[in-house]
Amino acid sequence: MCGIVAAVARQNCVPVLIEGLRKLEYRGYDSAGLAVLNPGLNRLRSVGRVAELAVQAAGVEAEIGIAHTRWATHGVPSERNAHPHISGGLAVVHNGIIENFAELRAELSAAGYVFQSDTDTEAIAHLLQHTLKAEPDLFAAVRKSMARLSGAYAIAVLKEGERRLIVARHGAPLLLGVTEQGSYAASDASALLQVTRSMVYLEDGDVAELSRDGYRIVTADGHPALRSVTESLLSADAVELGHYRHYMQKEIFEQPEALGNTLEMLGGAGALSPNFFGAEAPRVFDGVRSVLILACGTSYHAGLVARYWIEQIAGLPCSVEIASEYRYRQSVADADTLVVAISQSGETADTLAAVKHAKAQGMLRTLTLCNVPESALIREAALKFLTRAGPEIGVASTKAFTTQLAALALLTLVLAKGRQRLSAADEQTHLAALRHLPVAVKKVLQLEPEIERWARRFANKHHALFLGRGHHYPIALEGALKLKEISYIHAEGYPAGELKHGPLALVDKDMPVVSVAPNDALLEKLKSNLQEVQARGGELYVFADRDSAVEASEGVHVLRLPEHYGLLSPVLHVVPLQLLSYHVALVKGTDVDKPRNLAKSVTVE
Ligand code: G6P
């Protein structure tokens, strides 16, 4: 979703702005732009890739500037709607949504301001210009204007004649980078690693003034705010592509290492401990009577897998809710429910609002599983668990998903142990399986060449069906989501038992049916479902285990994973589905890492 980079430096900052935008490309966008002072206001915008903006910006030099990648919400992707938006000598970039923009637009139009775009952002630019009439200090004018804005946003502002930038956040991410050469701001740390590792995370309501000599921050009510400087642990290499063709491919292949990092604490631990989830965890977990998981997208699928685990192993009722539904639904609150938010970015607006909604209803036992330290969701919950997958740049989530599953398996086992439902022997068996997980995933990755061959047969299809049962049903959902996200083939995931209640009507020779068929208790049931497909001329692609009793035949293609992995089998079985989508997208020639219309970090509702 929209990305912001801003800089005020002792030397030309245009290369930093462009490189910062490149690093934010993964968030998803459809147009890009920048505004600099040299010394007058100079704005460049383009629909399409940052590379095109870079061509326009070649030769432009300035020591102060703001830049933006836009993911369209109000108004189509076009140069006219691309940021920055201007009012007089003032320019604004913005991430988020201004909910009262229609009201502001009417008011400002009546006051004589002429809107050039369809965006909500332009209302901020005119509002600021209007406020400056009574309050000529830019910093004070931004603070005053913020009181008029409702919604979630982060903004950066510059103005002709000023040697400073003003940035502010309320519900959308923004951080500062501090160096001797200047001050910077961006939507996430990856954009600023090129200049510094020292980051200052702004809090909601903060307004900051940036100059080349430093910065100052005040809270919403105008008090000076002391925000600590955090040294980013992100390695600059972690966001480089290396020898891979795409970030998605790199991230699929990084899964063994990512899982190893997420489960690192198990190396030295002889036993499971609630303290894996923080020092407060024993108190928060004690007396928990049920679990409520809140998430969106792929993270929601991780939650669906965990429901099977938590009910079966920990014996706790578990519900999994799509955050955007839960936040507006009138549900029945229970203070003894453990509320678990799952999010790779930690900034998903709906998940954040859902957790706040749960807390407002008295559910204070909250835990966030997240891949980004210092994110809004990490700060919102009583407990946190970092998945340590490393930066995930590909929009389609892969290593973030499998590390979420690892974290959820750990949570399940810790809850089960706390409830005396885990024998000492079972605890050791599960611990050994978790420790072995990176090796097991590595073996699955070796299936890539065969999956690549299968992928060629999918590229000319328009629809596909993914089937699974039990805790592999959410894996079928995830496989379908991956395929539709990056190859634009319409795909649906179904519990195999539901096949005859609708989707069977769609099955013919042009509809590939992918089946997740591990060697578990439901295999025989699943095989009956597969026969239903075969009998209707459907082409089956079956991901079985080494010892699953499923044989290849006419119209039935079988690939076998090296071992059956019990509880953690979903972690292994999602990997070939990720590879399948990746290779189908390659054959189709789509933009694998930046699929059309999608965003990595969904900071609007
Ligand atoms: C977007 C991303 C998905 C992600 C979902 C939820 O749709 O493209 O990959 O699963 O948001 O995001 P979260 O950061 O909360 O996991």
**Distance between Cα 397 and ligand 1 center (Å):** 7
The answer, yes or no, to whether any atom of ligand 1 lies below 6 A from the CB of 418, is no
Judged against a pLDDT cut of 70, whether residue 236 lies above it is answered with no
Query: What integer pLDDT is reported at residue 20 of this predicted model?
Result: 96
The answer, yes or no, to whether any atom of ligand 1 lies below 6 A from the CB of 519, is no
Judged against a pLDDT cut of 90, whether residue 598 lies above it is answered with no
Query: What integer pLDDT is reported at residue 142 of this predicted model?
Result: 96
The answer, yes or no, to whether any atom of ligand 1 lies below 6 A from the CB of 569, is no
Fold exhibited by the domain 247-444: Rossmann fold (3.40.50)
Contact between 318 and 293 (Cβ < 8 Å): yes
322 beta partners:
295
| Helix ranges (DSSP H) in 265-421 | 265-268, 281-285, 297-309, 323-326, 349-360, 376-380, 399-418
Pocket perturbation via mutation, ligand 1, pick of 326, 408, 600 by most ligand atoms within 8 A of CB: 600
Query: What number does the ligand 1 atom closest to the CA of 599 have?
Result: 8
| Residue 277: alpha-carbon gap to chain centroid | 21
Query: What number does the ligand 1 atom closest to the CA of 395 have?
Result: 8
Tell me the three-class secondary structure of 31-90, residue by residue: EEEEEEECCCEEEEEEECCHHHHHHHHCCCCCCEEEEEEECCCCCCCCCCCCCCEEECCE
Second CATH level (architecture) for the domain 3-239: 4-Layer Sandwich (3.60)
User: 566 Cβ partners below 8 Å, 6+ apart?
Assistant: 433
Q: What are the two backbone dihedrals, phi and then psi, of residue 195, each rounded to the nearest 5 degrees?
A: -115, -25
pLDDT, one tens digit per residue, over 23-33 is 998 887 889 99
Query: What number does the ligand 1 atom closest to the CA of 348 have?
Result: 15
The answer, yes or no, to whether any atom of ligand 1 lies below 6 A from the CB of 21, is no
**Distance between Cα 565 and ligand 1 center (Å):** 27
The answer, yes or no, to whether any atom of ligand 1 lies below 6 A from the CB of 598, is yes
237 confidence band (pLDDT: 50, 70, 90): low
The answer, yes or no, to whether any atom of ligand 1 lies below 6 A from the CB of 95, is no
Contact between 280 and 424 (Cβ < 8 Å): no
The answer, yes or no, to whether any atom of ligand 1 lies below 6 A from the CB of 398, is no
Among protein residues, the one with the nearest Cα to ligand 1's atom 9 is 397
Nearest to residue 91, comparing CAs of 137, 158, 140? 158
Pocket perturbation via mutation, ligand 1, pick of 1, 324, 344, 408 by most ligand atoms within 8 A of CB: 344
pLDDT above 70 covers what percent of the chain?
Answer: 99
pLDDT, one tens digit per residue, over 57-98 is 999 999 999 999 998 888 898 999 999 999 999 999 999 889
More confident residue, 29 or 269: 29
Domain coordinates in residue numbering, the chain: 3-239, 247-444, 448-588
pLDDT average, residue stretch 475-479: 98
Strand 318-322 versus strand 337-343 pairing type: unpaired
List the Cα angle 573/303/313 in 5-degree steps: 80
Nearest to residue 310, comparing CAs of 385, 417, 386? 417
Contact between 544 and 558 (Cβ < 8 Å): yes
Q: Hey, which residues are catalytic here?
A: 2, 600
Pocket perturbation via mutation, ligand 1, pick of 25, 247, 293, 296 by most ligand atoms within 8 A of CB: 296
Among protein residues, the one with the nearest Cα to ligand 1's atom 13 is 343
Residue 85 has, within 13 A of its CA and on its CB side, a CA count of 26
**Distance between Cα 343 and ligand 1 center (Å):** 7
Neighbours of 382 (CB within 10 A): 18
User: 236 Cβ partners below 8 Å, 6+ apart?
Assistant: 193, 194
Q: What is the CA radius of gyration of the chain?
A: 25
Q: How far apart are the first and last CA of the chain?
A: 11
> What distance in Å separates the CA atoms of residue 557 and residue 555, rounded to the nearest whole number?
6
Q: What are the two backbone dihedrals, phi and then psi, of residue 466, each rounded to the nearest 5 degrees?
A: -120, 125
433 beta partners:
none
Take residue 31 and report the two structure tokens written for it.
């147009």
The answer, yes or no, to whether any atom of ligand 1 lies below 6 A from the CB of 371, is no
Pick the CATH number of 448-588 from 3.40.50.10490, 3.30.750.24, 3.40.50.2000, 3.40.1280.10: 3.40.50.10490
Judge if 247-444 and 448-588 fold alike in CATH terms.
yes
**Distance between Cα 601 and ligand 1 center (Å):** 6
The answer, yes or no, to whether any atom of ligand 1 lies below 6 A from the CB of 518, is no
* Burial annotation 523-558 (CB, 10 A radius, 16+ → b, else e): beebbebbeebbeeebbbbbbbbeebebeeeeebbb
pLDDT, one tens digit per residue, over 369-423 is 999 887 889 989 999 999 999 889 899 999 999 999 999 999 999 999 999 999 9
Tell me the three-class secondary structure of 466-499, residue by residue: EEECHHHHHHHHHHHHHHHHHHCCEEEEEEHHHH
